[in-house]
Structure 1
């Protein structure tokens, strides 16, 4: 029977807690540096951020501030979220540096590509939403505005709306990574994913209808890329499954 030394266990736990605190401090420090650097440009950043809507408004149209403090707090809020967006690789690196020592070499080889792919796909989803989806959505909304009604959106409401769209598209674009993880866990097989393609397409269109604004264009702009990403996920899952089979044979 092996006797575990309580002192060594406590020492290991304390060491992990110290390492965790250090990683958290580094992550927060990096976030604060970027946030403070963005503060002088907060209003300019918001002006660029609002451009997809401003471009679709009628001549003379503009955003408005309903609440008294909105012109001050809303750009600060946007600067904070941009800082999180910009420092996401740094934050994920700190999390990885804390977790990686406890992983086996094979787990590291699999985790790193998944982490990098998830980051790239999330950024891609947000970029697709900003440059493709939002102009289409705002163009549609501007056209269906009744005559005699001035389309003037509150700056804080606009920010909240766009952030939700970013989150929806960013997470939706993670579909290939999710499929690969499910295959790695052994919960599904690539063959099952292929067989369930029809159900997946129906589910994708339902999800797109729920999380996008009530227009067909934005629903299609989310559903079609997700269907393509589902196919990409099947291909990636097959490659992962073949790699696991080859490693087992060796």
Structure 2
């Protein structure tokens, strides 16, 4: 840890530099996505376009600028997702001066693990969760009901689902750092499993669109991730004990 005191203005300048890199990277990738925005939009909407066509429907636009702003959202979402590794790296670089030397070695593992988990969460939402949720909604159709979705509404639903899974899949990383800091012991995490399940279902209700299918599709992977987090915390505690034993012997 760097114990040298730094004026507040230095921290603000450093924060500004990090935000510049984060927003700049996001803007660059969003601009690139904007150049091929129709292809990006079709890629992001892929799990919905096929079923919509299969059921003889079309997405509708009810306001002149709606499709334009939906394309803008598509480019921004694609830019945000692709720029996640840079965002995480800049966040770590900002907080690293306040860490001990042995803690800084987690920089690249943190960026790599968090990025992989975020992309895995988005991929789970894209390939597994949304197709099942959408097929369930389509199965509710009746002969006397005409089903129509606006482009903006469906895209907002999908993007919220993708981001909810991407963020929620960070649970093992959070549990790792809690165990590393000694805040959460694996025994306590295991004992609190039943309470954690309730919290995860409640969090799923907040993060996902307001339907029970989406909530369950998110809560179940979270339960698996929680169990993996308990295992990771046990590994962390065991290694801390092993490294502390030689020091105590000396």
Greater radius of gyration (CA)? 1
Partner of 2:211: 214
Displacement of 1:209: 5.3
**Cα contact 1:38–1:79 (8 A) shared by 2:** yes
**Cα contact 1:137–1:213 (8 A) shared by 2:** no
Displacement of 1:173: 1.4
Displacement of 1:168: 1.9
1:55 pairs, out of 50, 58, 65, with 50
Q: Can you give the 5+ residue segments of structure 2 that lack an aligned partner in the other structure?
A: none
> Which segment drifts farther, 227-236 or 187-196?
187-196
CA change 1:165–1:236 in 2 (3 A) is same
**Cα contact 1:137–1:215 (8 A) shared by 2:** no
Q: Distance in 1 between matches of 2:85 and 2:139?
A: 39
Matched, 1:120 2:149: no
> Which segment drifts farther, 48-57 or 130-139?
48-57
What pairs with 1:35-184 in structure 2 (closer than 5 Å)? 35-57=30-52, 58-184=54-180
CA change 1:20–1:219 in 2 (3 A) is closer
Q: Distance in 2 between matches of 1:152 and 1:14?
A: 53
Displacement of 1:120: 1.6
> Which segment drifts farther, 185-194 or 80-89?
185-194
Deviations 1:13-62 (A, max 9, x none): 55544444333333332222212212121122112222212222244311
Task: Provide the aligned length of Structure 1 versus Structure 2.
Answer: 241
Displacement of 1:85: 0.9
Q: Distance in 2 between matches of 1:184 and 1:17?
A: 28
Q: Distance in 2 between matches of 1:166 and 1:59?
A: 23
Q: Distance in 2 between matches of 1:122 and 1:129?
A: 11
Q: Distance in 2 between matches of 1:25 and 1:198?
A: 42
Deviations 1:70-108 (A, max 9, x none): 111110111012101111111222233333344321111
Query: TM-score, with normalisation over the residues of structure 2?
Result: 0.84
Match of 1:150, SS?
coil
Q: Distance in 1 between matches of 2:12 and 2:195?
A: 45
Query: TM-score, with normalisation over the residues of structure 1?
Result: 0.84
